A and B are shown apart, each in its own frame.
Chain A
């Protein structure tokens, strides 16, 4: 029996402190928490930085480090710093070092780095070791070389290698959401289908229960399956909440691909042990012939500057599409003569179809429309320049020549806001490995007062 305590779906999201204390009292074998996801967008992988604030991460990590010390078991974070790039692992290590000094804890830390070099990846691509998954964008050696960060998603082999060093804390770069939970149970001989399935159910903390915000859950893994117990006082796991979690953020509700194989839950059965605990058996783990890890990569998408104007005049609101079409055409033409570089200009109608664009079906009309100008260019100065050329149009453009010059509302000064460099995800591929550890780097160090 291996007990894994999961304090929350992600470090930085917060959780119920009492639930964590109850979890520690249950005597877990390991505390596992996820630090990231691609869900927040490509900026974080592109820049190798964290979405959550350093102070929030530090405050919550402090509590987990204290809980770890009380429990005397390893604490593992996967996908450190939102994206799991090497720089994000270093960022997390820096926070851990600071806290170890503040808390007076002497600790052995293992880091697992998942970053991949662009040139090495271009070589692997040429050798046919990088293959696309469904709906993958087209890639080339140039695309791989242009990525600011490429990470490979570690599985249980790499996490177990880090745990084998005897580390008190493992700070892992990009891992699959499940690997940090499944690793120890698998190393101790738990049912592999049960281990991966329980890990999938646990990866979002209490999301698979009736009280998602309570955060903390305990999963017990054994040689036939797993049992989930929520730690929140009011939280309940039911066969429905647990089985429904396989749907969440998952294109296929029955199958989950992981490094080294896939999980199939088609035959899983869910049994309520009482009104708050659920036991699951019958999940299957099917090892693959080749060991592959998924890759994520982000490259620059140019530089962006945005501007926001508000249109309240009823006649302009009524004719807003004609108004922005005219501005787009005129401003694009003028900017082409004034900046000698490529750019794109889009005016998005907030309150009309800004969310769904061409898929919008609603015909409701509001009394005002926000007009968001978005300028994207390969160079930052070009993007700002075109946004400044756009400004007089958003300020004074008339619907017809034969009318007094209108003036529209601006909520900000300056009206242009630089978004800086933007990034785009460009890999939905897997990398074949001879040895699971060959694409990852594990290092150990001592920290403390």
Chain B
């Protein structure tokens, strides 16, 4: 099985303030960027993150070969239900998706 992490340079996630979470998927080149954009359709990413696809903002940044997703944080940062203060572990969910 080939995962997203196996084919891209880096997958990271981070808070974008206490109410938003953002994912950056860095691809090594143009061809790979095109493939990843096609493979990771918004519905598939939304399903992995268990949110509706209307909540997911998608940015295809071709100058950098980066695919970016942002969404309202599943739990507001630091509430008693939040498990990850900095939001960096969410990246694993996308990194482990099969490509």
Report whether A38 and B18 are in contact in the complex, using a CB–CB cutoff of 8 Å.
yes
Asked if B74 lies at the interface with its beta carbon under 8 angstroms from chain A, I say: yes
Tell yes or no: A251 within 8 A of B by CB: yes
Measured between C-beta atoms, what is the minimum distance from A256 to chain B in Å? 11
How many pairs, one residue from A and one from B, have CB atoms within 8 Å of each other in the complex?
A: 105
Q: What separation, in Å, do the CA atoms of A251 and B87 have in the docked complex?
A: 13
Q: B83 contacts A344, CB within 8 Å?
A: no
With known contacts A249-B22, A357-B83, A243–B64 Cβ distance under 8 A: yes
Question: A41 vs B15: C-alpha distance in the bound complex, in angstroms?
Answer: 10
Chain A nearest Cβ from B21, distance in angstroms: 8
Task: State in angstroms the CA–CA spacing of A362 and B16 once bound together.
Answer: 26
CB distance from A224 to the nearest CB of B (A): 20
Q: Which of A264-302 contact B (CB under 8 A)?
A: 301-302
Tell me whether A243 and B20 are in contact in the complex, defined as CB-CB below 8 angstroms, given that A41-B77, A359-B90 are known contacts: no
In the complex, chain A residues whose CB is within 8 Å of the CB of B22: 247, 249-251
Verify A251–B77 contact, CB threshold 8 A. no
Q: A418 → chain B, closest Cβ, in Å?
A: 15
Interface pair B77/A42, CB less than 8 Å apart: yes
Q: In the complex, what residues of A have CB within 8 A of residue B77's CB?
A: 38, 41-42, 425
Task: Please name all residues of chain A whose beta carbon is closer than 8 Å to the beta carbon of B84 when the two chains form the complex.
Answer: 355-356
| A252 pairs with B57, CB closer than 8 A | yes
A325 close to chain B: CB less than 8 A? no
Q: Within 8 Å of chain B (Cβ to Cβ): is A68? A: no
Question: B14 touches which one: A134, A136, A249, A252 (CB < 8 A)?
Answer: A249
Chain B contacts for A344, CB-based, 8 A? 80
Q: How many of chain A's residues have a CB under 8 angstroms from any CB in B? A: 43
**A445 interfacial contact with B, CB 8 Å:** no
Question: What is the size category of the interface that chain B forms with chain A?
Answer: 35 or more
Q: Is B85 an interface residue (CB 8 A)?
A: yes
Given A247-B66, A251-B57, A356-B90: A135 in contact with B19 (beta carbons within 8 A): yes
Q: How far is the CB of A447 from chain B (nearest CB, A)?
A: 34
CA A247 to CA B64, docked complex, whole Å: 10
Distance A374 CA – B89 CA, assembled complex (angstroms) = 21
Contact across chains for A428 and B17 when beta carbons are under 8 A apart = yes
Cβ contacts B52-63/A at 8 Å (1 or 0 each): 000001010101
Q: In the bound complex, how far is the Cα of B48 from the Cα of A3, in angstroms?
A: 46
Complex alpha-carbon distance, A240 and B92, angstroms: 24
- Looking at the assembled complex, report how far the CB atom of B79 sits from the nearest CB atom of chain A, in whole angstroms: 5
B-to-A contact residues, CB < 8 Å: 14-20, 22, 24, 26, 48-50, 57, 59, 61, 63-64, 66, 68, 70, 72-74, 76-80, 83-86, 89-90, 92-93, 96
A-B contact pairs, 25 of them (CB 8 A): A38-B15, A39-B15, A39-B85, A42-B77, A134-B72, A240-B64, A251-B17, A251-B22, A252-B59, A253-B61, A253-B68, A304-B80, A346-B80, A348-B83, A356-B92, A356-B93, A358-B50, A359-B48, A359-B50, A359-B74, A361-B93, A423-B78, A425-B19, A425-B76, A428-B17
